[in-house]
Amino acid sequence: MSMRKFEDTYQHKGLRKQLVQQLREKGITDENVLEAINNLPRHFFLDSAFDKIAYEDRAFPIGEGQTISQPYTVAYQTQLLQIKKGDKVLEIGTGSVYQASVLAQMGAWVYTIERQKKLYEKHKSFVFKTKYPNIKFFYGDGFEGLPTYGPFDKIIITAAAPFIPPKLIEQLKINGMMVIPVDEGNAQRMLRITKLPDGTIKEESFEQFSFVPMLAGKNG
Ligand code: SAH
């Protein structure tokens, strides 16, 4: 296997600016989200074969039948979470580590879980390991969350959930928010759940998206 050479050229940076402009036109307004995406070389998270198309607003395969989310989806979920510097965030579905890196770039403390052993193992050669010491990687089942590390200010689920996992609600702080795409047949409705001071939850419903399924148990 040859060493991958990571280069962020003027061409990449130009394409990234265009992508950010597209995200603005599609309705993303959180400047911190747009800045993080503008600063993050998405092509580093993909096989070099995707180098020229890495800044198209599309999902791409990352192996094991999984995908890196579409930039619009990443921006949309991150915007709904209202990320603030210092937020403690749990992510379900590490995948390519792109979403986790957007959160880390915004100053969050990220705890990310992946159920596919092969994808989890890739964190060992993660290109931004020293740049983002604020990302912690876990191999496990997202339905269980990380009870010993919670509660969290924010929780983001990046796979299609069949239902809202009760254990994740338990691991959310009071006034904390969870953004989760929940199954509706072929598509998923993006929901934002807020945990209220009396322990009940408020549910807001947003656009429809299409994610790979959130599966129970570990694989590998
Ligand atoms: N956030 C990722 C998107 C990856 S796609 C990125 O930025 O690239 C969704 C990921 O969720 C897949 O890698 C899949 O293996 C993982 N996944 C699915 N069900 C899961 C579960 N129960 N726990 C943890 N990860 C899960």
Q: Give residue 123's domain range.
A: 57-209
215 lines ligand 1 (CB under 6 A): yes
Q: Is the CB of 214 under 6 A from ligand 1?
A: yes
**Does residue 104 have its Cβ closer than 6 Å to ligand 1?**
no
Which ligand 1 atom sits nearest the alpha carbon of residue 98?
Answer: 7
Closest C-alpha residue for ligand 1 atom 15 = 116
Q: Catalytic residue, from 69, 101, 125, 205: name it.
A: 69
- Ligand 1 center from residue 160 Cα (angstroms): 9
Element (H, E) at 180: strand 172-184
Does 6 map to a domain? no
Letter for the amino acid at 166?
Answer: P
Residues 75-114 have pLDDT tens digits of 999 999 999 999 999 999 999 999 999 999 999 999 999 9
CB distance 217 to 115 below 8 Å: yes
Pairing of strands 88-92, 66-68: unpaired
Ligand 1 neighbourhood includes 68 CB (under 6 angstroms): yes
User: Would you call 48 a catalytic residue per the annotation?
Assistant: no
pLDDT of residue 3: 63
Q: How far is the CA of 123 from the centre of ligand 1 (A)?
A: 13
* Number of domains the chain is built from: 1
Residue 98 within any structural domain of the chain: yes
Average of per-residue pLDDT across 196-215 = 96
* Residue 3 domain flag: no
Note whether residue 187 is domain-resident: yes
- Residue 96's contacts (CB-CB under 8 Å, 6 or more residues apart) are 45, 46, 62, 68
- pLDDT confidence of residue 220: 81
Output the six-digit token pair for 33. 């989200």
What phi, psi does 170 have (nearest 5°)?
-60, -35
Please list, in sequence order, all residues whose beta carbon lies within 8 angstroms of the beta carbon of residue 68, skipping any fewer than 6 positions away.
Answer: 42, 45, 46, 59, 60, 62, 95, 96, 98
Token pair 């996992």 in the structure block, residue? 165
pLDDT at 5 over 80: no
Does residue 20 belong to any structural domain of this protein?
Answer: no
Asked whether residue 14 is domain-assigned, the answer is no
Query: Model confidence at 186, in pLDDT bands (50, 70, 90)?
Result: confident
The reply to whether 1 falls in a domain is: no
Place of tokens 């254990």: 167
Establish if 193 belongs to a structural domain: yes
Q: 135: Cβ below 6 Å to ligand 1?
A: no
Helix spans in the chain (H): 10-25, 31-39, 71-81, 98-105, 117-121, 166-170
pTM above 0.95, yes or no: yes
Q: Which residues pair with 205 in a beta bridge?
A: 191
Q: What's the CATH number where 197 sits?
A: 3.40.50.150
Dihedral angle at the C-alpha atoms of 49, 50, 51, 56, nearest 10 degrees?
A: 160
